[in-house]
């Protein structure tokens, strides 16, 4: 055949991926498919690819979220639940971390994987996420097949989106709690526990076996009931935590009745009750129950005698850090010359909490001197828990009256706890107060996960909470759940703050 006069086909464009390998590509492939590699798979196994992608979407959106966030550890073969996005292979049933995804591609040559939160497609050859028109349509439908052809135009879709209200409650685990008579103090603590991944994973993996529990009106069984209700079906209506209320009344006499209670005191009560109901040890230092594994840390207290310089050290466990805001407020007002009060930063509160405190001879007796002496006392954080609970002491009680301290406290989304640790204090002392150079403390960055707010006055207030679910923040106000932005969260008048250590897998 004479082809001398026939036009030559255009040469494919030669590109290199991040590994430096030459990857041939054509403009047509990128138009019809997400990339030429997806084009090859679609041409060879289109039906199987679409079916498997729908199954993955069903796993992500229809089944409990914990399934798509669980992978098998390559070390011991045990299931591990990750707080970070995972990847579901589009060519086999594997669920992997980002690191294992790349290794899976190298060993199995399985090119495509699906991100576990938004179901985006990742191509191992391109080493990037790709946009495939056919798969994108299925992704937007969350894997559900259409019963009839969609005849709406792009403008129609835009009009619907711009005039629609997002219903965040339809997400798994997002439900409000009915107020059963001034029970908002209980609701905010329960929402905090429901959206704590450590507590959630414990109960969803049957850490507390309700069927075998013989406790009467057990609060742990009641919490287990909540997790089942919140994660087994999509419901938009609120949930009545009747079993939890009854269990709280029976376990704590002071809680019985419909009087408003303090959320911090209820948190202390419920954590202790869960500790006892889940095999908690009487020796708190050696306790391995889920409550202590999640919230328990250790403070170090050092007292230095001014006379002989003898140092005594003691360690005490803590479930939360209670930070003073009143004295700080007074001091800042004096420094500002009675001008408008400058907002207090939580770092200032932590700095004061771990600052040196003078003790008079009436307060301290030195064993080395065998006599009363002046001394300096300092607290520092010796051991940090995975979830750091911070209590801002807004309620003041005296013999004459009780009042609320409404000082504005600024808090960040990410908080570096390292400057308040024992290690930092000792290093700073050794270097005469300068920052310890070269010390790696990336693991001590904590991210905000929940904020509990008390609105109103001391005797007529109301509790609400904000919790992070994935990358979104939600306001929980009794039975109402609303999607909100970070700005609203950071502007809240916090009473309790919960920070979670960053990049931690549980």
C-beta of residue 104 within 8 angstroms of C-beta of residue 89: yes
pLDDT at 149 over 60: no
71-84 average pLDDT score: 76
In sequence order, the 6+-apart residues with CB closer than 8 A to the CB of 322 are 391, 393
336-348 average pLDDT score: 69
pLDDT at 41 over 60: yes
Does 110 map to a domain?
A: yes
Are residues 129 and 192 both part of a single domain?
no
Does 294 map to a domain?
A: yes
Does 52 map to a domain?
A: yes
pTM for the full predicted model: 0.64
State residue 225's pLDDT score.
92
State residue 427's pLDDT score.
82
Q: Give 454's pLDDT tier (boundaries 50, 70, 90).
A: very high
Are residues 239 and 316 both part of a single domain?
yes
Domain containing 323 equals: 171-327+343-431+440-505
Q: Which residue has the higher pLDDT, 430 or 43?
A: 43
Are residues 218 and 319 both part of a single domain?
yes
pLDDT at 128 over 90: no
Are residues 411 and 282 both part of a single domain?
yes
DSSP per position, 364-424: -EETTTTEE--EEEEEEEEE--SEEEEEEE-EEE-SS-EEE----EE--SEEE-GGGBHHH
240-247 average pLDDT score: 90
Closest CA to 89 of 77, 103, 78: 103
Q: At 208, which CATH number?
A: 3.90.70.10
Are residues 235 and 188 both part of a single domain?
yes
Are residues 65 and 179 both part of a single domain?
no
Residue 329: C-alpha distances to residues 198, 405, 415 (Å): 35, 9, 21
State residue 327's pLDDT score.
60
Does 152 map to a domain?
A: no
State residue 29's pLDDT score.
37
Does 29 map to a domain?
A: no
CA distance between the termini of the chain: 67
Are residues 199 and 286 both part of a single domain?
yes
Say how many CA atoms lie within 13 Å of 185 toward its Cβ: 21
Q: Which of 115-119, 333-337, 467-471, 493-497 has the lowest mean pLDDT?
A: 333-337
Are residues 389 and 465 both part of a single domain?
yes
227-256 average pLDDT score: 83
Q: Give 172's pLDDT tier (boundaries 50, 70, 90).
A: low
pLDDT at 262 over 70: yes
Q: Give 441's pLDDT tier (boundaries 50, 70, 90).
A: low
- In whole angstroms, what is the distance from residue 99 CA to residue 375 CA? 52
Does 17 map to a domain?
A: no
- Structural domain count of the chain: 2
Residue 29: C-alpha distances to residues 21, 113, 125, 217, 282 (Å): 19, 19, 14, 63, 66
287-303 average pLDDT score: 93
State residue 144's pLDDT score.
54
Q: At 105, which CATH number?
A: 3.30.40.10
Does 166 map to a domain?
A: no
pLDDT at 270 over 50: yes
Say how many CA atoms lie within 13 Å of 255 toward its Cβ: 22
pLDDT at 244 over 60: yes
pLDDT at 232 over 80: no
pLDDT at 53 over 60: yes
Closest CA to 376 of 324, 306, 445: 306
Angle CA 207–290–182, to nearest 5: 95
Average pLDDT of the residues of the chain: 80
pLDDT at 358 over 90: yes
In sequence order, the 6+-apart residues with CB closer than 8 A to the CB of 225 are 210, 243
Are residues 128 and 201 both part of a single domain?
no
State residue 32's pLDDT score.
57
Q: Which of 184, 218, 296, 349 does the annotation list as catalytic?
A: 184
Are residues 276 and 369 both part of a single domain?
yes
Output the furthest CA–CA distance in the chain (Å, rounded): 112
Are residues 373 and 268 both part of a single domain?
yes
Q: Which of 25-34, 138-147, 237-246, 313-322 has the lowest mean pLDDT?
A: 25-34
295-312 average pLDDT score: 93
Give catalytic status of residue 213 as yes or no: no
State residue 328's pLDDT score.
52
Does 103 map to a domain?
A: yes
Give catalytic status of residue 462 as yes or no: yes
C-beta of residue 222 within 8 angstroms of C-beta of residue 270: no
115-126 average pLDDT score: 87
368-372 average pLDDT score: 91
Are residues 141 and 198 both part of a single domain?
no
Domain boundary among 145, 163, 183: 145
Question: Is residue 172 within a helix (H) or strand (E), and if so which, with residue range?
Answer: none
Q: Which of 30, 61, 441, 462 does the annotation list as catalytic?
A: 462
């Amino acid at each position: 055949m004479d082809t001398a006069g026939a036009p030559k086909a255009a040469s494919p464009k030669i590109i290199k991926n991040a590994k430096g390998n030459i990857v041939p590509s054509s403009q047509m492939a990128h138009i019809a498919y997400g990339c030429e590699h997806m084009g090859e798979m679609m041409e060879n196994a289109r039906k199987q690819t679409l079916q498997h992608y729908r199954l993955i979407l069903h796993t992500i959106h229809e089944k409990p979220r914990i399934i798509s966030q669980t992978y098998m550890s390559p070390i011991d073969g045990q299931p591990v639940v990750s707080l970070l996005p995972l990847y579901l292979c589009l060519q086999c049933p594997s669920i992997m971390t980002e690191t294992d995804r790349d290794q899976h591609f190298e060993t199995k040559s399985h090119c495509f994987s699906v991100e576990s939160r938004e179901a985006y497609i990742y191509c191992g050859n391109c080493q990037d996420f790709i946009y495939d028109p056919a798969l994108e349509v299925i992704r937007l439908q969350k894997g559900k097949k259409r019963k009839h052809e969609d005849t709406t135009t792009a403008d129609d879709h835009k009009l619907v989106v711009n005039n629609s209200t997002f219903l965040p409650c339809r997400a798994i685990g997002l439900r409000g709690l009915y107020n059963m008579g001034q029970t908002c103090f209980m609701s905010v603590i329960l929402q905090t526990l429901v959206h704590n991944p450590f507590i959630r994973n414990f109960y969803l993996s049957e850490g507390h076996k309700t069927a075998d529990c013989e406790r009467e009106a057990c609060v742990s069984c009641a919490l287990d009931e909540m997790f089942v209700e919140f994660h087994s079906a999509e419901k938009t209506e609120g949930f009545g935590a009747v079993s939890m209320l009854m269990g709280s009344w029976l376990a704590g006499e002071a809680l019985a009745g419909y009087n408003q209670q303090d959320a911090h005191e209820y948190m202390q009560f419920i954590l202790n009750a869960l500790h006892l109901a889940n095999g908690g040890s009487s020796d708190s230092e050696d306790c391995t129950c889920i409550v202590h594994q999640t919230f328990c840390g250790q403070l170090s207290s050092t007292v230095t005698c001014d006379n002989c310089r003898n140092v005594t050290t003691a360690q005490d466990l803590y479930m939360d850090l209670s930070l003073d805001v009143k004295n700080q407020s007074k001091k800042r007002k004096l420094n500002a010359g009675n001008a408008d009060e400058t907002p207090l930063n939580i770092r200032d509160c932590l700095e004061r909490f771990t600052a040196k405190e003078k003790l008079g001879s009436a307060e301290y007796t030195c064993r080395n001197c065998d006599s009363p002496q002046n001394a300096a006392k300092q607290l520092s954080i010796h051991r940090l828990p995975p979830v750091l609970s911070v209590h801002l002491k807004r309620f003041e009680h005296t013999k004459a009256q009780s009042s609320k301290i409404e000082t504005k406290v600024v808090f960040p989304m990410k908080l570096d706890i390292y400057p308040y640790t024992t290690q930092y204090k000792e290093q700073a002392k050794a270097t005469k107060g300068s920052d310890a150079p070269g010390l790696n403390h990336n693991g001590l960055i904590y991210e905000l996960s929940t904020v509990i707010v008390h609105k109103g006055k001391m005797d007529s207030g109301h509790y609400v909470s904000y919790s992070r679910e994935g990358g979104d923040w939600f306001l929980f106000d009794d039975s109402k759940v609303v999607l909100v932005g970070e700005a609203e969260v950071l502007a809240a008048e916090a009473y309790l703050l919960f920070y979670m250590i960053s990049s931690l897998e549980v």
